């Protein structure tokens, strides 16, 4: 599930449901038992996201061991299950369970994260300093990303996946935004024009905001939807309507050329060789 939009949506949902309330925290699986015990019963001040990193605020006592934040990264397959009412008996490996004891009762179970740790304000700043601008954050400066991209011989497809360059973009948004701007994924960053980058950034802001709203990734323009083009809708576990992501070998919605795939930056890249030249 997790690109940046998922994390921002989680921050909004968790903040709304648990924010300002005392929260019971536990680690049924045990791997976060010490951390959960430290925050258990404390009030969640709020939830925030930067790129794919989620921060749950539990203002500390000043003792660094108490922490100020739970820092969560879902990795490739981590995820939350949220529900209302008393939490059910734990099934499987629940790293972190949050629950309220007063009405309205809600709970959230975290499974399979690559990171779930207690950190201080300073630790949180350090995480933020390793990340590039996040299209979903109001404080983001796309010029910082441009400074990296415009000097780099690395392909734009690899740069978009580098969280130090842009935070929050993952394999789906990478493939889709490059398609939408007719950019060859193998083009070196330094060969992009500033206007192209500005357009890509503006598009990411819009696409990812919609991703937060809908809790899924849709990237096809209105004139290319299944209804508009009289084609069957995509049925895939990641949910949304896309141009090229995981469509290898299938015809491009725009030109009919077969969508190609190749490994790049440790992930499978997808693109249309006819639409994405230059």
Partner DNA sequence: TCCTTATGTACAA
Partner DNA sequence: TGTACCTAAGGAC
Residues taking part in catalysis: 2-3, 52, 267
Q: Which residue from 8, 38, 42, 52 is in contact with DNA, where contact means CB under 7 A? A: 52
* 209 makes contact with DNA (CB under 7 A): no
Sequence-distant (≥ 6) Cβ neighbours of residue 86 within 8 angstroms: 99, 105, 107
Residue 104's Cβ-count burial label (10 Å; 0-12, 13-18, 19+) is exposed
Question: DSSP letter at 2?
Answer: -
* 76 makes contact with DNA (CB under 7 A): yes
Sequence-distant (≥ 6) Cβ neighbours of residue 13 within 8 angstroms: 82
Binding mask 125-164 for DNA (x = CB under 7 A): -----x------------------------------x-x-
Q: Which residue from 27, 171, 219, 276 is in contact with DNA, where contact means CB under 7 A? A: 171
* 29 makes contact with DNA (CB under 7 A): yes
Q: Which residue from 35, 135, 142, 170 is in contact with DNA, where contact means CB under 7 A? A: 170
Give all strands (DSSP E) within 112-266, no chain letters: 115-119, 260-264
**204: three-class secondary structure by DSSP:** helix
User: Listing from the earlier edge strand, what are the strands of the sheet with 69-73?
Assistant: 46-50, 53-57, 69-73, 115-119
Compute the least distance from the CB of residue 278 to DNA, in Å: 24
State which residue, 106 or 169, has the beta carbon closest to DNA: 169
Query: Encoding tokens for residue 255?
Result: 């030109």
* 75 makes contact with DNA (CB under 7 A): yes
Please name which of 74, 68, 72 lies closest in space to residue 45, comparing C-alpha atoms. Answer: 68
State which residue, 76 or 255, has the beta carbon closest to DNA: 76
* 208 makes contact with DNA (CB under 7 A): no
Question: DSSP letter at 268?
Answer: E
State which residue, 126 or 228, has the beta carbon closest to DNA: 126
Compute the least distance from the CB of residue 248 to DNA, in Å: 8
Among 98-106, 111-119, 184-192, 196-204, the segment contacting DNA (CB under 7 A): 111-119
Sequence-distant (≥ 6) Cβ neighbours of residue 27 within 8 angstroms: 33, 35, 36, 94, 95, 96, 97
Compute the least distance from the CB of residue 76 to DNA, in Å: 4
Pairing of strands 79-84, 69-73: unpaired
Compute the least distance from the CB of residue 266 to DNA, in Å: 4
What does the binding site for DNA look like in residue numbers (CB under 7 A)? 1-3, 6, 29, 31, 51-52, 73-77, 79, 92-93, 95, 111-112, 114, 130, 161, 163, 170-172, 217, 237-239, 246, 266-268
């Amino acid at each position: 599930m997790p690109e940046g939009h998922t994390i921002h949506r989680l921050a909004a949902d968790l903040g709304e449901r648990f924010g300002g309330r005392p929260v019971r925290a536990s680690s049924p699986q045990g791997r976060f038992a010490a951390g959960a015990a430290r925050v258990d019963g404390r009030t969640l001040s709020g939830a925030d996201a930067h790129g794919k990193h989620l921060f749950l605020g539990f203002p500390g006592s000043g003792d660094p061991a108490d922490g100020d934040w739970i820092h969560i990264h879902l990795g490739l397959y981590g995820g939350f299950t949220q529900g209302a009412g008393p939490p059910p008996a734990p099934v499987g490996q629940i790293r972190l369970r949050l629950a309220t004891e007063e009405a309205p009762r809600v709970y959230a179970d975290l499974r399979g994260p690559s990171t779930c740790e207690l950190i201080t304000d300073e630790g949180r700043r350090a995480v933020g300093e390793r990340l590039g601008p996040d299209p979903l954050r109001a404080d983001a400066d796309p010029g910082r990303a441009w400074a990296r991209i415009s000097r780099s011989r690395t392909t734009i497809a690899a740069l978009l996946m580098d969280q130090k360059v842009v935070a929050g973009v993952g394999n789906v948004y990478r493939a889709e935004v490059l398609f939408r701007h007719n950019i060859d994924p193998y083009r070196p960053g330094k060969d992009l024009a500033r206007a192209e980058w500005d357009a890509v950034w503006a598009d990411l802001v819009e696409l990812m905001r919609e991703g937060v709203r809908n809790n899924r990734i849709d990237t096809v323009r209105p004139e290319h939807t299944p209804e508009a083009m009289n084609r069957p809708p995509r049925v895939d576990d990641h949910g949304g309507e896309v141009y090229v992501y995981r469509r290898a070998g299938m015809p491009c919605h725009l030109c009919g050329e077969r969508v190609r795939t190749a490994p790049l930056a440790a992930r499978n890249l997808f693109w249309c060789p006819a639409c994405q030249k230059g």
